[in-house]
Amino acid sequence: MAEAKESSQAEETSTPEPEEESEATAIAEAMNKAQDETKNVVDLPRVRKIAEADFQPTEQVQGMYTAYPPIGTMPEDVQNPIFWAHVAPKMKAMTEIRVMPKDGTWYGIYLCLYADQHQATVKELQLFPIDVQSDTDAEKYFVKWISPPLKWGVIRKADGERIKDGFDTKKQAVIWMSGHIKAHG
């Protein structure tokens, strides 16, 4: 009889009752559902947000300068770190520099990526060639840089005579030359 009792107890422990089985199934389903929901959340792309401390007025973090390099300076010259040797201590990363050589042949916008006491590395953001040649150049006159004191001038092609000088920019000289040609032929 003791054996029969033991075997009936073993049967009771080995076979779960229907209520326990449905409860265990419900818990397992709930856990699977929670894992599926977690997977869906993880699979969504994350959008980065900028910290408030990293969002500041430009004037507080970025300097702006304008440079007027000598006549004949090319955009390639400006990108040489040594070009900025004398002014590099004033510059810091994120400084924006607008450059127009004294001959007015081009205009560029540059961003300083790195600067120390001896040099600065800049990246060209935009470059605008300024073409101020006129169709009238091919006729009787042409515009030429003469010298620092005389600046830009209008020269007659026939004899090389300087008609007028002292223009700060090539564009001013071309405009004057166009008016002169209209008035005097």
CATH code of the domain covering residue 113: 2.40.240.20
In a domain, 180, yes or no: yes
179: exposed, middle or buried (Cβ count in 10 Å: 0-12, 13-18, 19+): exposed
* Together in a domain, 151 and 113: no
Is residue 95 within 8 Å of 62, Cβ to Cβ? yes
* Together in a domain, 118 and 176: no
Q: What pLDDT score does 13 carry?
A: 52
Rounded CA separation 13/55 (Å): 66
* Together in a domain, 101 and 124: yes
* Together in a domain, 149 and 107: no
* Together in a domain, 76 and 115: yes
In a domain, 102, yes or no: yes
- Ranges of the chain with pLDDT below 70: 1-20, 34-44, 131-138, 185
- The pair of structure tokens assigned to 90 is 């004033």
3-state secondary structure of 23: helix
Rounded CA separation 71/102 (Å): 5
Rounded CA separation 76/120 (Å): 14
* Together in a domain, 66 and 125: yes
Parallel, antiparallel, or unpaired for β 64-67 and 96-99? parallel
Q: What pLDDT score does 9 carry?
A: 52
If one counts the domains in the chain, the total is 2
Q: What pLDDT score does 46 carry?
A: 84
**Residue numbers of the domain that contains 142:** 135-184
* Together in a domain, 104 and 142: no
